[in-house]
Structure 1
Amino acid sequence: MDIKHLQYVIEVARTGSFTKAAQTMFVSQPTISKMIKSVEEELGVELFDRSGSRIVPTDVGQLIVDQANVIAHAFDNLTTGLDELASLRRGKLRIGLPPMAGASYFAEPIGRFHAMYPGISIELAEDGAKRIEADIENGALDFGVVLLPTKSELFESILIADERLMVLVHPEHRYAARGRIALTELEPEPLISFSEGFALHDRIPAACLSEGFRPNIVCESSQWDLIVRLVAANLGAALLPESICREAGDGVAAVALDQPIIPWRLAFVWRKDRYLSYAAKEWIRFLRTWFPEGLQ
């Protein structure tokens, strides 16, 4: 017995006639009769009293008709929901964004995508790239922005930014007028860094250690704009991406860092082995057009 059988039972009960039910279901009257008979044989009961001019459900038949209506209604809701998902009229995306990537790179594309597909809800989680990567891996997030390199065997990716870190200092700092400085020149400097959970929290000290010194971290923050303000207050220097330094304003000075260059490459990633909803597939397609130079 399948959903079509139940729909035939419902229609016969509604019309009180095999002939009328066949007409509304666009099948022959013998087809309807045969289907009802097969259901009765399968259940071992008589569904309809055929003795009168109008066919009516038996007591058992009425019970089955009532339950069949519930099932048919649920099936209709299911097919409607599937159609809405397939046509992108509904859906949900869970996206993790680090503070430095959210406003700079994703405010506009998220707004544009929502205008195109208003029925798709977008749930944003703002956190450090390390935690976002872990949440994508464990399934708490569908997508997220992380700092490369990452686990290429686990994630698909779209490159969205390929920059380098610069040194941000107070305008009166002795390095402010320099064209570039080496990382080792920051050894005596108090540094403001990102909090734990952010990829740069680990990468900047690692780069310093590789140059033979331990950085003097005097303050940590999860907000890049606060770090910029702390530099402007002359608390210390900071290493930040080029795009952030360009937006930092007049209260600070940005100096190129070399020897070594510390790359800052952001990628939008998702798991290779996880099911992608219709909404997720469309979001990926949309981002590939938004960041065409970032195809990986």
Structure 2
Amino acid sequence: MISYKHEVFIEVARQLSFTKASQTLFISQSAISKQIQALEAFYKTGLFERKGNSIHLTPAGRLLYDRLLEARQLQQTLYQDMQALSQAFAPPLHMILGASTTISLYVLPRVLSAYLQQHPTLQLTLKNRNSENILKALLDHEIDLGVVEAASKANNITSTPFLTDEVIAVCSPTSPLKHQKLTIADLRHTPIALRETGSGTLAVVEQVLASHQIDLSELPVRVRLGGTEALKNFVRVDTAMAFLPRQAVAKELESGELIHLPIKDLQINRTFHFIQRRGTENQHALQDFIRFTKRFYAKPA
């Protein structure tokens, strides 16, 4: 249906970068340039405008991009309708997922492996970003389905809950904090390391602390780090504490590399959600993956 040249164009238009598109598509930048040049020759107009080291869509490029997104949606609907009429029809499937760091690293790998065993012809891409950027990627049609730490309040997004997780306070076994019995009020005087702005983990910590009249600006923040692994590695060698998902530190807690710091009367739970653009709720492939994932985690451990 949509030609390979147009698929390449869609990716370049999404990323606004030949380099990033080549990394996503696993082809060389020169190969991408040839495909774009062929399209520009076919349409007799430029599709991208080069400004220094960046590129932008021309009016013709924007028109082509918007129409191709509509065509892709129609193609998905056609495949779904044809499958309903002919069970022998097996269309090529390519699903692009986006998930926040915790989910990408600690929740999805097992379920993706199990799902791909049942759907060996599926081409699946997983993009790992913080929750704020996953929502943006979904709205920009860069991904088909997002998995984040909280339901979205955007009007054109639907959210489906599927798994509850706990965020806990941890510190290094060499930190003097491990001997203290902390209260919520003590957090105002306790050195802490936090995730970056836009992190779903940070957002739920901020929300729960606010319910106890604690503002993040009141905390003695030693450092802010991008990503769960960076924060985990920092707190392992520092004296500060950090709030991290229990799933992310399970191995470190078991090995003794990190210590759980219970804080009196403080419980931080959050629910992971699938997020979709409105209008895609009935797409068979997306709903099948959502149902499979919910069943997978509903099974007894």
Task: For residue 247 of structure 1, give the secondary structure of its aligned residue in structure 2.
Answer: helix
Task: Give the Cα–Cα distance (whole angstroms) in 2 for the partners of residues 204 and 168 of structure 1.
Answer: 13
- AA at the equivalent of 2:224: E
Report Cα offsets for 1:26-62 as digits up to 9, x if no partner.
xxxxxxxxxxxxxxxxxxxxxxxxxxxxxxxxxxxxx
Which runs of structure 1 show a deviation greater than 4 angstroms over 4 or more consecutive aligned residues?
81-85, 205-209
2:233 is aligned to 229
Equivalent runs, 1:50-199 vs 2, <5 Å? 82=79, 86=83, 87-151=89-153, 154-160=157-163, 162-177=164-179, 181-199=182-200
- Contact residue 100 and residue 149 of structure 2 kept, 8 A: no
Percent identity reads 11
- Contact residue 131 and residue 148 of structure 2 kept, 8 A: yes
- 1:173 offset after TM fit, Å? 2.8
Task: Give the Cα–Cα distance (whole angstroms) in 1 for the partners of residues 203 and 192 of structure 2.
Answer: 14
- Contact residue 96 and residue 144 of structure 1 kept, 8 A: yes
- 1:217 offset after TM fit, Å? 1.9
- 1:155 offset after TM fit, Å? 1.3
- Contact residue 166 and residue 245 of structure 1 kept, 8 A: no
Scaled by the length of structure 2, the TM-score of the pair is: 0.61
- AA at the equivalent of 2:222: V
Task: Give the Cα–Cα distance (whole angstroms) in 2 for the partners of residues 95 and 256 of structure 1.
Answer: 34
Task: Give the Cα–Cα distance (whole angstroms) in 1 for the partners of residues 182 and 136 of structure 2.
Answer: 34
Task: Give the Cα–Cα distance (whole angstroms) in 2 for the partners of residues 277 and 206 of structure 1.
Answer: 33
- 1:106 offset after TM fit, Å? 0.9
- 1:276 offset after TM fit, Å? 4.5
- 1:121 offset after TM fit, Å? 1.1
- 1:149 offset after TM fit, Å? 4.2
User: Does structure 1 residue 269 correspond to structure 2 residue 300?
Assistant: no
**Which of 257, 261, 265 is matched with 2:263 structurally?**
257
Report Cα offsets for 1:177-234 as digits up to 9, x if no partner.
45x6323212222211111221233443454452266122222222322212211211
The answer to which of 212-221 and 139-148 deviates more is 212-221
- 1:141 offset after TM fit, Å? 1.8
Gaps of 5+ in 1: 1-77
- AA at the equivalent of 1:282: D
- Contact residue 151 and residue 161 of structure 2 kept, 8 A: no
- AA at the equivalent of 1:211: I
Task: For residue 178 of structure 2, give the secondary structure of its aligned residue in structure 1.
Answer: coil
Q: How many residues align?
A: 212
Task: For residue 124 of structure 2, give the secondary structure of its aligned residue in structure 1.
Answer: strand
Task: Give the Cα–Cα distance (whole angstroms) in 1 for the partners of residues 165 and 289 of structure 2.
Answer: 24
- AA at the equivalent of 2:196: S
Task: Give the Cα–Cα distance (whole angstroms) in 2 for the partners of residues 217 and 85 of structure 1.
Answer: 56
Task: Give the Cα–Cα distance (whole angstroms) in 1 for the partners of residues 111 and 275 of structure 2.
Answer: 16
Distance 1:112 1:207, change over 3 A: closer
Task: Give the Cα–Cα distance (whole angstroms) in 1 for the partners of residues 143 and 106 of structure 2.
Answer: 21
Task: Give the Cα–Cα distance (whole angstroms) in 2 for the partners of residues 288 and 89 of structure 1.
Answer: 24
1:211 is aligned to 214
| Pairwise CA RMSD | 3.0
Task: For residue 172 of structure 1, give the secondary structure of its aligned residue in structure 2.
Answer: coil
Task: For residue 218 of structure 2, give the secondary structure of its aligned residue in structure 1.
Answer: coil
Task: For residue 267 of structure 1, give the secondary structure of its aligned residue in structure 2.
Answer: strand
Task: Give the Cα–Cα distance (whole angstroms) in 2 for the partners of residues 198 and 159 of structure 1.
Answer: 19
The answer to which of 134-143 and 121-130 deviates more is 134-143
- 1:129 offset after TM fit, Å? 1.2
- Contact residue 89 and residue 120 of structure 1 kept, 8 A: no
Distance 1:250 1:118, change over 3 A: same
Give the greater-gyration-radius structure (CA): 1
